[in-house]
Amino acid sequence: MVKIIPAIDVIDGKCVRLTRGDYAQKKVYSENPLEVAKQFEGKGYTRLHVVDLDGAKAQHIVNYRALEQIATRTQLVVDFGGGLKTADDLRIAFECGAAMVTGGSIAVKNPDEFTRWIARYGGDKIILGADVVDEKIAVSGWQESTQEDLLPFIAGYVEKGVTQVICTDVSKDGMLQGANVALYRKILEHFPSLYLIASGGVSRRSDVEDLQKAGVPAVIVGKAFYEGRM
């Protein structure tokens, strides 16, 4: 059964969702991310994906207090990303209760540092963030495109010990039009043992079922929860 991972994105300490990563298309769903996390926990979910969108923009961790509240006042296993660029950012995230962290931009812009993180903490704690636009990696909170191709990007880090990848199709994110199943199937054909976490576009239960049929082990769901579709 595919694992469903609820998402909380944080701006100014509030629970928000963007559309296609556009900060100008921000919708606030709650003033209190902790209460949202408790609601997910109450419904039986065990893992939570938290993104510091302020951090992604600022290039350093910002909303660590929201992370700390969720991690210390729920039993949820939290993976945390957004703005993690230095060893100090990483230390703060782990000290505030993150069980795992996701690195995306740093894996492109400072591969040596990201490789050191993998070597120190292992693939069970360091997740590779592979956000894509037309199968090219996007960085800096999706505000910047690169010429880095998705599959070689993943391959390089699998060789270095990465076992989990969160792959977001930016064009699908927040659109509620279904996930890019073909993309995830393609990734798993090349990396069948990868713990691939799909993200972007899930709008209903049938989208999750389509991902399960494709062999995707886990999926992040955000806006579909907040809009009452799941």
Domains of the chain (ranges plus CATH)?
A: 3-226 (3.20.20.70)
Relative to beta strand 3-11, strand 218-221 is parallel
- Does the pTM of the predicted model rise above 0.95? no
Amino acid identity, residue 97?
G
**Residue 140 pLDDT exceeds 70:** no
Q: Write a three-state SS string for 87-136.
A: HHHHHHHHHCCCCEEEECHHHHHCHHHHHHHHHHHCCCCEEEEEEEECCE
N- to C-terminal Cα distance for the chain?
17
Q: How far apart are CA 184 and CA 194, in angstroms?
A: 11
- CB contact burial 25-55 (16+ within 10 A = b; e otherwise): eeeebeeebbebbeebbeeebebbbbbbbbb
> How is residue 60 written in tokens?
């350093």
Is the predicted pLDDT of residue 37 greater than 60, yes or no?
A: yes
For a pLDDT cut of 90, what percent of the chain falls above it? 79
Q: pLDDT band for 99, please (50, 70, 90 cuts).
A: very high
How large is the average pLDDT for residues 155-165?
98
User: Which pLDDT belongs to residue 175?
Assistant: 63
Give catalytic residues, as residue numbers: 9, 131
In order of 98, 113, 117, 136, the CA distances from 121 in angstroms are 13, 12, 6, 27
Calculate what percentage of the chain has a pLDDT beyond 70.
95
